[in-house]
């Protein structure tokens, strides 16, 4: 009798993935799909190659930061200094483009970011202070450095040899989008195919176990912060070259957008689990919401509100999944 | 004595996680005021039954009744409200708080929410029942697992639980401590408390329990009175076939003149070790024999570069180590440690079997930093096969594996790339008989292939039977070197207790 009673209820269990699990694992993709469908129905101008490429192009700097930040977060860290590094890289690249050489400037941004990120990592591991505190403090320092470089003023950078990075196109596709896609693929390969990526997962999942397995956990952490800094630097260069203006306050608040995108994508803030594609999806979701609000011409106040609500829902969903286990 | 109705009654309970059915058709009556054992191999479902009763899992099918009242939505909080407390295999305490704060967590003496002073007096009363001798002001983070377990038990007693579920309560206790726990259980029983006792230690069960339920593969095999059971009858039911409890044959011990892998001379550490001299040769199994707290794990940590050596010399492969030795350098020189706490220190639970198996030997499966996925999968499959890891999925979720299978995954990590010295700290703790035998075979395999093994276990029978040589330890010192082939558990214990007595006497004398 109990068999008869239970059979309707137990029927869905035949699927190996329950709807709840699916929503938790791929929720961000579902929401993106819904938005794509909804926005295409509402507006004729949305589903055009031009608009979609435009969204990608605008998101490229944030997406680059979010990709590298994913490694930091999987490694159990937290980086609040990406916005400030973005600022330092912007003004130093701008200054070098004008005073030294535009091509050198393009290289300088990521290198300065790498250096600043490396400093973060060295302080975090050297003193054993939580990355949250260290990067909170260094973000203030770095922002101060950015202001010192320009003396607080803006640097106009109108040089063709420099602005192709942010404005140029190859065929229909923006150079920035190509840079972003390349960076994303490299990060994916690094995370999933290399021993380094494996170590990042281990350090974030169980640092002590990683250490007992002979992994130099501090080096791994320094490397993730260096990569995060480098990405912020690259993003800074793209942004300066795009708007032809280097400003020390550039990238303010970007660190939170990047963190929001990573969390929204479903990478665990606890470390040890996550994926690059998730963060890219998180960035795209935020960009779509943005774009939707522009197309619909709604009060931008609702934009942040909506993004916030979606993040809370996404995180709650992930947490409820975790609890059941 | 047990004539009253059941305290907890399970009827046709079933539980699944995803596709895996972990409990099926479980029907058990836990009689009020009895001590009821749940036995079975790891993965048989004993702990899961405990968790159903304790409210940690909810049953998919069937019914649960507590003191005659049916339970529908059950949570640990609600279970506590009905007088059911669970003491976990993986302990659940707040490490940064003191013993006292942990014991009375959620029931602090207070006036309108402001903390009062009565807790210490309550602790004293509790201590009269428990007799653990814990310092109420010690911080839990500084305590060893065995002591933390006592805190958990006191916590359950403080809540005046009428049903206490103990999941592997003696697995980290010494014989002496286990004996005191059993006296406590007897006192609890006299007060009408029902104890559900999940354990692998059949001797303890035979000595302490009234009834026993034997489980296999998520099902109840039988429930009977303990009278009339023997170790063999329990094991037969657990395994489903007659089997003998035996020790594997050791490989030949290496000759005395062979150079040692590690050698310590008169080593002292900041953790309180004094005058430690020991050596392990390639292919030799050396046991550290002592009670919990005698400094066994500290020796392991010093060998592994985790604690600083303050005096004496330590050499690996004849090379003397300096003060710059750390864990990374020790690992690089071929020292491997399988730690006591496998979930906290051993496995990366956010990851699957494959990365856990490869973690210590990424260099072997990669070229220029790129992992060769085919090679990795093949090697993981070999290890799953070699150890009989269940479930045998290459990307199985280790976090949900049973203790024995988790331990096998951990051991595979070191089996793929052989270390020079393998230190095993409590390798078969909380592990079922099948896995235990496999782990013992693994130790033999490693030694036979030339690895030096240092074995630590609270079970004296295990260390002695699996070691060529042993060092007897007490209070941070090695006081004798013994030939384990000539040693019995009784003589070892007698010598350790005699040594403790001698040390205590000299201490009493020395202050004068």
Residue of chain A with shortest Cα separation from B400: A325
User: Which of B24, B62, B357, B359 to probe by mutation at the A interface, max A CB count within 10 Å?
Assistant: B359
Residue B107 forms contact with A (CB below 8 Å) = no
- Residue B429 binned pLDDT confidence (cut-offs 50, 70, 90): confident
Distance from the Cα of A202 to chain B's closest Cα (Å) equals 6
Domain that holds residue B363: 347-418
In a domain, B211, yes or no: yes
**Model confidence pTM above 0.80:** no
Q: Packing angle between helix A131-150 and helix A82-99, nearest 10 degrees?
A: 30
Tokens encoding B263: 């050698």
- Do B316 and B177 fall within a single domain? no
Hey, where are the domains in chain A? 50-324
Nearest to A193 among B349, B363, B370 (CB): B370
Average pLDDT, chain B: 85
Nearest to A198 among B339, B355, B399 (CB): B355
Q: B353 in helix, strand or coil? A: helix
Q: What is the DSSP string of B264-319?
A: EEEEEETTS--SEEEEE-TT-EEEEE--TTSSHHHHHHHHTTSS-EEEEEEEETTE
State pLDDT tens for residues B243-285.
456 788 888 888 888 999 999 999 999 888 889 999 999 999 9
What is the third-level CATH fold of A50-324?
ABC transporter involved in vitamin B12 uptake, BtuC (1.10.3470)
Please, are residues B162 and B4 in contact by the beta-carbon 8 Å criterion?
no
State pLDDT tens for residues B454-494.
999 877 888 999 999 999 998 889 999 999 988 887 788 77
Average pLDDT, chain A: 88
- Do B265 and B121 fall within a single domain? no
State pLDDT tens for residues A254-306.
999 999 999 989 898 889 999 999 999 999 999 998 888 888 888 878 888 88
End-of-domain residue from the set B418, B451, B470 = B418
User: Which of A206, A207, A267, A323 to probe by mutation at the B interface, max B CB count within 10 Å?
Assistant: A206
Residue B396 forms contact with A (CB below 8 Å) = no
- Do B311 and B399 fall within a single domain? no
Residue B346 forms contact with A (CB below 8 Å) = yes
What's the ipTM? 0.82
Give dist(CA B345, CA B352) in Å, integer.
16
Reading phi first (left if > 0) and then psi (alpha if -120 to 50, else beta), residue B277 is in beta
CATH number, residue B187: 3.40.50.300
- Do B354 and B222 fall within a single domain? no
Cα A313 to Cα A31, A256, A309, B497: the distances in Å are 11, 17, 6, 60
Tokens 């026993």 sit at which residue?
B212
End-of-domain residue from the set B239, B273, B296 = B239
CB contact under 8 A, B350 and A208: no
Tokens encoding B370: 């790129």
- Do B273 and B379 fall within a single domain? no
pLDDT at A207: 93
In a domain, B253, yes or no: no
In a domain, B250, yes or no: no
End-of-domain residue from the set B358, B388, B418 = B418
Looking at the structure of chain B, the number of domains it has is 3
**What is the arithmetic mean of pLDDT over B354-369?**
91
Angle, alpha carbons A100-A104-A105 (nearest 5°): 80
In a domain, B125, yes or no: yes
Give dist(CA B247, CA B436) in Å, integer.
11
Cβ neighbours, 10 Å, residue B10? 23
Cα B143 to Cα A237, B93, B95, B136, B284: the distances in Å are 53, 11, 9, 12, 32
Residue of chain B with shortest Cα separation from A10: B60
Tokens encoding B270: 């900041």
Q: Which residues of A touch B (CB under 8 A)?
A: 2, 6, 13, 16, 18, 193-196, 198-199, 201-202, 204-206, 208-216, 268, 270-273, 325
């Amino acid at each position: 009798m109990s068999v008869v009673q239970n059979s309707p209820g137990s029927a869905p269990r035949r699927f190996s993935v329950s709807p709840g699990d699916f929503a938790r694992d791929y929720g961000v993709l579902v929401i993106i799909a819904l938005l794509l469908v909804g926005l295409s129905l509402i507006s004729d101008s949305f589903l055009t190659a031009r608009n979609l490429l435009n969204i990608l192009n605008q998101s490229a700097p944030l997406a680059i930061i979010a990709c590298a930040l994913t490694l930091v977060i999987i490694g159990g860290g937290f980086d609040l200094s990406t916005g400030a590094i973005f600022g330092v890289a912007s003004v130093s690249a701008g200054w070098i483009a004008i005073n030294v050489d535009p091509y050198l400037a393009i290289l300088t941004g990521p290198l300065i970011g790498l250096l600043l990120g490396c400093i973060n990592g060295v302080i975090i591991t050297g003193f054993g202070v939580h990355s949250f505190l260290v990067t909170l403090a260094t973000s203030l320092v770095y922002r101060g450095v950015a202001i010192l470089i320009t003396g607080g003023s803006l640097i106009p950078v109108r040089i063709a040899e420099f602005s192709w990075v942010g404005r140029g196109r190859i065929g229909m596709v923006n150079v920035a989008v190509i840079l972003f896609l390349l960076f994303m693929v490299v990060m994916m390969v690094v995370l999933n195919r290399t021993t380094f990526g494996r170590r990042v997962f281990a350090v974030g999942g169980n640092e002590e176990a990683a250490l007992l397995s002979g992994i130099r956990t501090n080096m791994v952490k320094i490397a993730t912060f260096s990569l995060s800094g480098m990405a912020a630097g690259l993003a800074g260069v793209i942004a300066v070259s795009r708007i032809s203006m280097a400003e020390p306050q550039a990238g303010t608040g970007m660190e939170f957008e990047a963190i929001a995108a990573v969390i929204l994508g479903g990478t665990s803030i606890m470390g040890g689990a996550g994926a690059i594609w998730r963060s890219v999806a998180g960035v795209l979701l935020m960009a779509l919401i943005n774009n939707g609000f522009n197309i619909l011409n709604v009060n931008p106040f609702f934009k942040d509100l909506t993004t916030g609500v979606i993040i809370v829902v996404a995180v709650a969903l992930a947490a409820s999944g975790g609890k059941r286990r | 004595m047990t004539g009253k109705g059941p305290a907890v009654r399970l009827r046709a309970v079933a539980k699944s996680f995803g596709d895996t059915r972990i409990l099926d058709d479980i029907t058990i009556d836990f009689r009020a005021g009895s001590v009821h054992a749940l036995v079975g191999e790891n993965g048989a479902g004993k702990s899961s039954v405990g968790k159903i009763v304790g409210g940690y899992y909810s049953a998919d099918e069937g019914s649960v009744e507590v003191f005659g009242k049916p339970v529908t939505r059950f949570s640990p909080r609600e279970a506590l409200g009905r007088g059911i407390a669970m003491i976990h295999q993986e302990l659940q305490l707040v490490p940064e708080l003191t013993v006292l704060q942990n014991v009375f967590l959620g029931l602090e003496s207070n006036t309108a929410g402001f903390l009062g002073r009565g807790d210490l007096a309550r602790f004293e009363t509790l201590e009269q029942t428990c007799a653990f001798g814990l310092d109420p002001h010690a911080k839990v983070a500084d305590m060893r697992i065995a002591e933390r377990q006592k805190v958990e038990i006191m916590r359950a007693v403080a809540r005046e639980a009428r049903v206490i579920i103990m999941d592997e309560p003696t697995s980290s206790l010494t014989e002496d401590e286990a004996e005191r726990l059993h006296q406590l259980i007897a006192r609890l029983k006299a007060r009408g408390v029902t104890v559900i006792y999940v354990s692998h230690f059949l001797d303890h069960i035979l000595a302490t329990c009234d009834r026993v339920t034997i489980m296999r593969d998520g099902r109840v095999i039988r429930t009977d009175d303990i009278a009339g059971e023997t170790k063999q009858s329990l094991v037969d039911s657990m395994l489903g076939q007659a089997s003998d409890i035996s020790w594997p044959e050791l490989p030949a011990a290496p000759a005395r003149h062979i150079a040692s892998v590690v050698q310590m001379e008169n080593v002292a550490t900041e953790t309180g070790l004094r005058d430690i001299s020991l050596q392990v040769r390639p292919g030799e199994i050396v046991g550290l024999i002592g009670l919990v707290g005698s400094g066994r794990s500290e020796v392991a940590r010093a060998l592994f570069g985790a604690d600083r050596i303050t005096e004496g010399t330590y050499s690996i492969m004849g090379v003397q180590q300096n003060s710059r030795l750390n864990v990374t350098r020790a690992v690089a020189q071929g020292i491997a440690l399988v730690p006591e706490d496998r979930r906290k220190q051993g496995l990366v639970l956010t990851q699957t079997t494959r990365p856990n198996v490869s973690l210590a030997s990424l260099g072997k499966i990669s070229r220029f930093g790129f992992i060769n996925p085919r090679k990795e999968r093949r090697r993981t499959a070999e290890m799953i096969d070699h150890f009989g890891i269940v479930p045998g999925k290459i990307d199985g979720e280790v976090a949900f594996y049973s203790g024995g299978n988790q331990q096998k995954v951990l051991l595979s990590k070191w089996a793929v790339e052989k270390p020079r010295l393998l230190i095993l700290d409590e390798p078969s703790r909380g592990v079922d008989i099948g896995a235990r035998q496999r782990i013992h075979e693994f130790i033999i395999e490693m030694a036979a292939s030339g690895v030096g093994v240092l074995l630590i276990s609270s079970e004296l029978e295990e260390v002695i039977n699996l070691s060529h040589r042993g060092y007897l330890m007490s209070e941070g010192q090695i006081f004798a070197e013994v030939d384990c082939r000539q040693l019995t558990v009784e003589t070892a214990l007698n010598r350790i207790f005699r040594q403790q007595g001698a040390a205590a006497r000299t201490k009493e004398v020395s202050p004068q």
